[in-house]
Amino acid sequence: MMAIGIFDSGLGGLTVLDAVTKKMPAESFVYMGDNLHAPYGVRDSSKVYDLTIKCIERMWDEDCDLIILACNTASAAALKKIQEEWLPKNKRVLGVFVPLIESLTKRNWGDNSPPREVDVQNVALFATPSTVASRAFQRELAFRAIGVDVESQACGGLVDAIEDGDLILAEALVRSHVDALKRKMPQPQAAILGCTHYPLMEEIFRDALGKNVAVYSQANLVAESLLDYLDRHPNLSSNNKPKNIFITTGDPVIVSMRATQFLKRSVEFISA
């Protein structure tokens, strides 16, 4: 058996899983949520790195040779070190920033030409405190584009509210964070939902930002990018009858209930 791993600190990565399973129904997926330690967005980079590699190793036990870090905090704080210093040659770990920046700059990741001007100049980035502090999005964007002003808003409390299933609080927090961002950048042209939990509140973000702001949400972009990656690396595709496994470091009963609420279909987690 071979499966593709989707990892997140909690439940947000289910938005990515949902998109990739719809795009690739013939593939097998293993989803792992580190719900016991969620959210990662308030942790320092060394702790995020340690937690992430433990979960990656657990997913290797399920024959995941390719793993997507569907967690912006892990992608920002740990991915570079994982790829450069720790990962065995026969394994692949990819992040979620790449497809987003490809879409925003309209240039492929393999395009190593000098940075150039792009259509969007004013970009609002909504992300966790750790992702904002890492400046990973701005760093990757700067390799590909010039003249783009990125204003970041650390959305404290939002992941906790979503994980707790408190969508009334989550909506209030979204509107508060959008108001705070607009005080710094009154007229953003584009908004990045820089956490895989945030697409669960995408309609609220869109309403608060207004119809003139293009909202970039990661799930579908990651799915398109993964499909292209598997076309180029067919050896990493599943070679068995499709089967999805859900693993959590938290309480599987509670996590299953929350996941079912989010995806609006029955999801059953097992304990890590």
119-158: buried (b, 16+ CB within 10 Å) or exposed (e) per residue?
Answer: ebebbbbbbbbbbbbbebbeebbeebbeebebebbbbbbb
Q: What is the dihedral of CA 98, 189, 187, 74, to 10 degrees?
A: -10
* Residue 175 CA to its chain's centroid (Å): 21
How many angstroms separate the CA atoms of 4 and 240, rounded?
A: 12
28-57: buried (b, 16+ CB within 10 Å) or exposed (e) per residue?
Answer: bbbbbbbbebbbbbbbebeebbebbbebbe
* Active centre residues (catalytic): 71, 195
CB contact at 8 A, 113 and 180: no
Whether omega before 39 lies within 30 degrees of 0, making that bond cis, reads yes
How many angstroms separate the CA atoms of 215 and 252, rounded?
A: 33
At 17, list the tokens.
Answer: 């899983």
